[in-house]
Amino acid sequence: MSVITISRECGVDSEEVASLLAKKLGWEYIGKELVARIARELRISAGEAEAFLQDAQSRLLRFVDRYTCSLIQKVVDRERGCLDDESYFKTVKKLVEDVYEAKNAIILGWGGQCLLRGKPNVLHVRLIKDEAGKIDTIMKRFKIDRKAAKYHIDKEEKDSKSLIKHYFKVDWNDASLYDLVIDMGKTTVEDAANTIIENLKLKTS
């Protein structure tokens, strides 16, 4: 089986690229819906899984405190009395590795570039764009002003960097994690998808 992992900065049309790749290749696209799979694995609701992830990001993924437990209102480990980020991470790791073993897929986010690092038949892609371009994209997408767009980008990227640093002890921007880096400010979604497919063929041939 072959997998494409996509790591991205905020505001780089990553979902559009992943969706187009899935269509062109006939592969499964694994993105936000992984939250539902995590929820089933941990026997909690998708809303609770999403709430946990968002709260974990904001606290740099420290163990869940009592306040968070009151928000989630579910117990996975009855003896410990709380869902913690170790359980959450182990579940994400298992699901990503299961996808790799079972099918051809595009994985957007979820630390795929680290979880599947060194695995055969995996292409690790990084999507970037300059700050001005990212701000313009977020302004249009959410219909917000420039200041709000910059705040949104800074927060999203800080959270993503923290996740990768916390779990994998690597720098999110480390070029050695990726086989291909694409500047989305200098290309189209269509051309980016085609470039990724060509590089996939080269790596897996």
3-state secondary structure string, the chain?
CCEEEEEECCCCCHHHHHHHHHHHHCCEEECCCHHHHHHHHHCCCHHHHHHHHHHHHHCCCCCCCHHHHHHHCCCCCCCCCCCCHHHHHHHHHHHHHHHHHHCCEEEECCCHHHHCCCCCCEEEEEEECCHHHHHHHHHHHHCCCHHHHHHHHHHHHHHHHHHHHHHHCCCCCCHHHCCEEEECCCCCHHHHHHHHHHHHHHHHC
Tens of pLDDT, residue by residue over 14-73, are 999 999 999 999 998 887 766 666 667 666 665 655 665 555 444 433 333 433 444 434
Whole-model pTM: value is 0.79
According to the model, what pLDDT value does residue 199 have? 96
According to the model, what pLDDT value does residue 62 have? 37
All structural domains of the chain, each given as residue ranges with its CATH number in brackets, are 1-27+104-205 (3.40.50.300), 31-102 (no CATH)
According to the model, what pLDDT value does residue 41 have? 66
Taking only the tens of pLDDT, the chain with its 205 residues reads: 799 999 999 999 999 999 999 999 999 888 776 666 666 766 666 565 566 555 544 443 333 343 344 443 443 443 333 456 677 778 778 888 888 888 899 999 888 999 999 999 999 999 999 999 999 999 999 999 999 999 999 988 988 888 888 888 899 889 999 999 999 999 999 999 999 999 999 988 8
